[in-house]
Chain A
Amino acid sequence: MALAIRRSTSDIFCAAKWFIRRDCRVLSTLPEKAEVEVATVTKKEKHIRTRGSRNSALENRFVYPEFLPDPNPNWRNSLREKLERADMLKRRNQIDIPEFYVGSILAVTVADQHSQGKTNKFVGICIERKGCGLRAEFTLRNVVDHQGIEVRYDLYDPTIQIIQVLRLEKRLDEKLFYLRDALPEYSTFPFDMDPEILPEGTPVPLNPVQVKLKPRPWLERWERQDLKGVSNIEEHLKEKDRVRRELRATPWEKYDLMKQYRQTIPIEDQNDIWAEVNSQLQQLHMTRKKMSRKRTFSTPKTQLG
């Protein structure tokens, strides 16, 4: 009896300690960090509004996301990052790596020693972009002869000959892995697709298409991922799945400022990086534009001649 009482008291003590520790952790870090965060952000915003040129440099983080290093502090190394950026710019001098997003349709031609013509072209929708620096990679998906195929490419692979954007657009989600479980018509693209040219200065269009999933079994639990690009997810769910989705939901994560901070590169670091590479990137962009304009202008001449 006495032993039981002692054990129960120790349990209470443990539980109390556990709760206190939890609460303490929350109280000690979050509010003060949150204040600091908000203050810096507002200060930075003012800073940016006063300087217009900085703002355009910061827009680069969407166009060239691989220039930003991995936010994990264990993997940071300023010298390696600098060398990698220099190498990336050198590679970009050699080949035109266009602006594209997850959901854009790309055609990639690589030098392939295994194929007969020594080159290999693959067309598909970009379903994922990941990696930083020279390790940046993207995945294309297409359905050929009723068979879903995905190919992963390194963005700075020296064997890549041409990367062409056939249709520049964004989708509602950051990763389109659900296309693997969707009906095949949503990821079918012909190999002889013509590139669609957007008029200059237009923002990148957002394609609000919502795909239909095939019935279960699925490769992942899509219902728990809060996907916007799927229309018929509810009709395949049972009551059990809805309950479990509620149990596993993490609605507090959008208020977790520390988590957000750890997943992103701070503005100060970004400004240093963009100041280093922005002028060269702009120059490259301008020369490519000039070249393309020349090419479009010269084609009718050759036809006439």
Chain B
Amino acid sequence: MLKSVVSKLISAQQTCGFHTTACLNEVRLLTRLRVVDNSEIGKRAMAEGKPPKVICVYNKTRVGYIGDRVLVAIKGQKKKGILVGLKQTQKVKVPKFDSNNVVLIDDNGTPLGNRIHVPIPTILRTILKEKTHSKGADYTKLLAIATRFV
């Protein structure tokens, strides 16, 4: 009995037993994203309040960084997209966004929409150029439909 009293006293004095930290805001499996282009499927999914979920990140660590290709589940379909803005803490001079933004593309790298209505980080120019191969998909078409760079 006394032990329980003592333990109660101690627990009242100390903080909670588990460690809490701010979350990393990583883009992983089943992260909800925000579609920022004006493709029909993306607009409808966002309007219905059913934003797409990540079901695959195409890199080795399976954590999506800026410019990475992802496979998303959107309105019962599988679509590919490119991450164009992240909530996660970024490197110096790379903008950090308030939401995880994605632009939908098809297999060749052509965007489904024809306008992006939020700013795009300039570093994406270099990243997407590096990822584009002459015979594979061309991701730089995404840069052409951007309205603003920060």
User: What residues make up the interface of A, taking CB atoms closer than 8 Å to B?
Assistant: 7-8, 11-12, 14-15, 18, 110, 112-116, 120, 122, 137, 144-154, 157, 159, 180, 220, 248
Contacts and interface: CB of A to CB of B under 8 A. Distances in A.
A147 B2 contact: no
A149 B3 contact: no
B125 interface: yes
B122 A153 contact: no
A145 B119 contact: yes
A157 B91 CA distance: 13
A180 B149 contact: no
B6 interface: yes
Given A112-B122, A144-B119, A149 B97 contact: yes
A14 B6 CA distance: 9
B54 to A, nearest CB: 20
B119 A15 contact: no
Contacts, number: 78
Contact of A122 (B117, B125, B150): B150
Interface of B: 1-3, 6, 9-10, 15, 22, 85, 90, 92-99, 101, 117-119, 122-126, 147-150
Contacts of B22: 220
A152 B92 contact: yes
Please provide the 9 A-B residue pairs with the shortest distance between their CB atoms, ordered closest to farther: A148-B98, A114-B122, A147-B118, A115-B122, A8-B2, A150-B96, A149-B95, A114-B126, A151-B95
B98 to A, nearest CB: 3
A144 B150 contact: yes
B92 A11 contact: no
Nearest to B149: A115
Contact of B96 (A11, A112, A120, A149): A149
Given A144-B148, A151-B150, A153-B92, 14 more contacts: A112-B122, A116-B149, A120-B149, A144-B118, A144-B119, A145-B147, A147-B119, A148-B98, A149-B97, A149-B98, A150-B97, A151-B93, A152-B90, A248-B15
A11 B93 contact: no
A12 B6 CA distance: 8
Contacts of B99: 147
B30 to A, nearest CB: 18
A137 B91 CA distance: 12
Given A11-B6, A14-B6, A149 B92 contact: no
